[in-house]
């Protein structure tokens, strides 16, 4: 057996533990963002998200489909960025014919997701079934 295998394994294990500790020990890296969205439009935007089955291809908070990117923080790129993808589609994303109101509602929903998408994982209680609650 190669004598370097146990040393490499221990070194990589120590590096993983150190990295994990530094990642979760910094309390200041998770700051709540002030809400900058319309709560009523956000509620309607959630219905638009469900109506067009966006969750089948996209993720929010790492949960959902894997065909498209995670959209938790996509609203930081702006309204016109999102609107362009909705109207024109992309490689594997079809173009959607949303009304102007539906587009605004969906963007408000994504803004709300962005505002809550930076919460500290330590603040959540882990449940037996792998889910979390605050």
Distance CA 33, CA 118 (A): 8
**Number of domains the chain is built from:** 1
Quick: pLDDT tens for 82-120.
Answer: 999 999 998 889 999 999 999 999 999 999 988 877 545
For residue 73, the enclosing domain spans 49-116
Q: State pTM to two decimals.
A: 0.63
Q: Read out DSSP for 71-122?
A: -TTGGGG-HHHHHHHHHH--SS-------HHHHHHHHHHHHHHHHHTT--GG
94: in domain: yes
* Residues 10-28 pLDDT 10s: 999 999 998 888 767 665 5
Residue 70 pLDDT level (bands cut at 50, 70, 90): confident
Query: Is 78 domain-assigned?
Result: yes
**Structural tokens at position 36:** 């900058």
End-to-end CA distance of the chain: 48
pLDDT score at 127: 75
* Residue 63 within any structural domain of the chain: yes
| Residue 108 domain flag | yes
In the chain, the largest separation of any two C-alpha atoms, in whole Å, equals 66
62 located within any domain: yes
Q: Please report, for the domain that includes residue 100, its CATH number.
A: 1.10.760.10
């Amino acid at each position: 057996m190669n004598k370097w295998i146990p040393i490499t394994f221990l070194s990589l294990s120590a590096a993983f533990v150190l990295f994990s500790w530094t990642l979760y020990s910094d309390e200041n890296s998770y700051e709540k963002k002030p809400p900058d969205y319309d709560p009523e439009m956000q509620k309607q935007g959630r219905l638009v998200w469900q109506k067009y089955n966006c969750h089948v291809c996209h993720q929010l908070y790492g949960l959902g489909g894997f065909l498209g990117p995670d959209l938790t923080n996509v609203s930081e790129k702006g309204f016109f960025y999102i609107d362009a993808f909705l109207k024109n589609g992309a490689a594997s994303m079809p173009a959607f014919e949303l009304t102007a109101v539906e587009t605004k509602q969906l963007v408000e929903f994504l803004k709300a997701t962005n505002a809550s998408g930076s919460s500290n994982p330590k603040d959540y209680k882990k449940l037996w079934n792998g889910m979390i609650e605050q």
